[in-house]
Amino acid sequence: MSQLLLAVDVGNTNVSLGVYDYAGGNPRLAHHWRVGTRREQTSDEVGITLRALFDQEGASVAGVTHVIVSCVVPPLLPIWERVCTKLFSDSPVVVGPGTRTGMPIRYENPREVGADRIVNSVAALDLMGAPVIAVDFGTATTFDCISDQGEYLGGAIFPGIHVSMEALFERASMLHRVEIARPRSVIGRTTTASLQSGLLFGYAGLVDAMIERIRGELGPARVVATGGLAQRIAGESEHIERVEPFLTLEGLRILFEKNRSEAGSAARKEK
């Protein structure tokens, strides 16, 4: 019987989910979904949503054998733990202090590092080698830095592009919401084009400047990006080398295998 791993990343804005199928020994991302994060959700509502997502793909929650959860919204973690324990045959692995990562954490207080940042770093190291910078375009834009020795050093955090945009529109009554799209030129000739220029080109310039400063301390690190707007920003960036939409899910898979050796053993037996 094939093993199925459900990877869940609960973020501030969205919940990303992926199902990895270990048939044949090589894990394959068979299904993936993204739903909005709702802090007021009950465990029953989460369970209904999960069942509906699986039904939509013609799959069954009963087929899931293992679960791993990363969560940066503390009130939602016990809800997801309760749902996973109820629906699946195994209690979830929860990414947090004590999780084996295979990566020395050089943060002054490792408990302060968001679980998603560690997950992304583990995946970036596996994918690109060291040194590497992982850039995640989420509610916040995060830069996570791994040394040439494979150590997590820390990074930088600043407001995500959507957060910045919403703050601007709330404070400037004459400005309106716009689609984050590439304008015809940097010099906008309408308010919409001017906003799009600032949001897209300005943000890409900010990202490139941060990467240059980080490389000044870290050395010639490679750069991988993930998150909802990664592809769009990468198209205007000089330094982002690769976009991986499922970087966080891949990191969760890797961490699961590091923390549940029997999963890897079972997968190998199916070869």
Least confident of 64-73, 92-101, 106-115, 260-269: 260-269
Does the pLDDT value for residue 181 go beyond 80?
yes
User: Domain 4-94 adopts which CATH fold?
Assistant: Nucleotidyltransferase; domain 5 (3.30.420)
Intrachain domains 4-94 and 110-248 with the same fold: yes
What's the one-letter identity of residue 203? Answer: Y
For residue 1, the model assigns a pLDDT of 52
pLDDT digits (tens, 9 = 90+) for 203-234: 999 999 999 999 999 999 999 999 989 999 99
pLDDT band (50, 70, 90) for residue 261: low
For residue 264, the model assigns a pLDDT of 41
Share of the chain above pLDDT 90, in %: 84
Mean of the per-residue pLDDT values of the chain: 92
pLDDT band (50, 70, 90) for residue 271: very low
Task: Of 23, 68, 49, give the one whose Cα is nearest residue 248.
Answer: 68
The verdict on whether omega for the bond into residue 110 sits within 30 degrees of 0, i.e. cis, is no
* Domain edges within the chain: 4-94, 110-248
Taking residues 159-178, what's their average pLDDT? 89
* The two three-digit tokens of residue 100, written as one number: 């084996």
For residue 267, the model assigns a pLDDT of 39
pLDDT digits (tens, 9 = 90+) for 127-143: 999 999 999 999 999 99
Supply the residues annotated as catalytic.
116
For residue 247, the model assigns a pLDDT of 98
For residue 73, the model assigns a pLDDT of 95
Distance CA 210, CA 9 (A): 26
Taking residues 23-40, what's their average pLDDT? 93
Does the pLDDT value for residue 202 go beyond 60?
yes
Could you tell me whether strands 66-71 and 93-94 are parallel, antiparallel, or unpaired per DSSP bridges? parallel
| Residues in CB range of 130: below 8 A, 6 or more apart | 146, 147, 148, 149, 150, 221
pLDDT band (50, 70, 90) for residue 174: confident
- DSSP three-state, residue 35: strand
* The two three-digit tokens of residue 237, written as one number: 């960036």
CATH number of the 110-248 domain: 3.30.420.40
Least confident of 87-91, 104-108, 158-162, 182-186: 87-91
| DSSP bridge pairs for 14 | 36
What's the one-letter identity of residue 128? Answer: M
Query: Which one-letter DSSP state was computed for residue 198?
Result: I
pTM across the whole model: 0.91
Degrees, nearest 5: CA angle 16-230-66: 25
* The two three-digit tokens of residue 145, written as one number: 């830095």
For residue 263, the model assigns a pLDDT of 41
The verdict on whether omega for the bond into residue 131 sits within 30 degrees of 0, i.e. cis, is yes
